[in-house]
A and B are shown apart, each in its own frame.
Chain A
Amino acid sequence: MKKLLIVEQEAVILEILNQRFLADGWTTACCSDGKTAISLIDSFQPTLLLTNILIPFYSGIELLQAARAKTNPIEVVILALLIDDDVKNQCYEMGAAAYLTKPFDLEILLQEVNKVAKTKQSILH
């Protein structure tokens, strides 16, 4: 089962992402802050994490670190407002699978997430 954890501070964007991924057959869990996200990583055990960088309590980079540190590392797609090459490189170095910036195309984001999930699945099998 494809399980996606979405972390986004803007409630309306979070809802749009949630509905779009649900319509695409994903099982989703949503939250708008880092603290809840950390607990959801343990309880929901997602296959993929889609996160913004600027979120309350913990940053998206800290979430990325936590997700990659798991015994079964979770793939992470960053959806950031920052177009900063340093941050982008840092995310890739820490193991992010993709880095997209806002404003974003919903369909391209969906394709990117599915691509990452497919790659992970093919590695596992």
Chain B
Amino acid sequence: MAEASRLNLPAAPNTGAKPRTVGRAEPVLVVRAVIIVFILLFWEAIAQSGLLYRDVVPSLLAIGAAIVKLLSAPDYYWHLWVTASEVGAGLIVGGLSGLLIGLALGGNRVLSKAFEPYLYYLGPTPKIIFFPVMIMWFGVGPGSKIAMGAISCFFPIALSTAAGMRQIDKVLIRVGQSFRASAWQMATKIYLPAMRHPIINGVRLGLGVAIIGTLLAETKLSNQGVGFLIIQAYSLFDMPRMYAMLIVLFVLAIGANALVGRLGGLSAIRQL
């Protein structure tokens, strides 16, 4: 999942990257096209064969029609807006608290040794188990979903910020001190620019897990949002609609992740 990068997994593909050599890229593209065509044909063959229960594997045409129907329904955008606002609010709350805690831990070795192991070991626990507690604290409305988003994104952002703070080049700090920069100037001119890369990475990871946390909470207990729509499609056994929503959701999640990286200038940083 989104915690992948923190755990040193290769990052998701950079769609903007240029192929190294054109001659090498062409056979790869052909293989990719063959694989995609094979999967689609296999899927359609299974759908038409009746080997599985009807609608468990709907035809590609039915899924395509469901995607068009979903995207042309104004109702869907309202639910999407609800989920997006919950994820956004969760990211703001969890992100800012993660940033502050990360700065405190990264800037002080004693605090880091004392408290960072707790964050490190609590980070990979399944956050959805806190949902009953969040319902008791914040109610069954959007508050508990925002809290789930916040609690999910807090850990990767805090850990990434703390690690980034420790990696700042000491020369940059000494330059700031030699100019007699105030604490605010040090923070805005030295620390935050130098930590841009780890913070953006943390936000990208945080965004991924905030989306998951919020949507899972919506599937568990909600009457609005995309998670609610997914579980509603399951209850009604409307499989083409469920596939359509999952496909659109995956595209949106990957797009949002790429957008955060682009807005944060991650590609520009990498070129330096």
A interacts with B: no
> Interface of A with B (CB < 8 Å)?
none
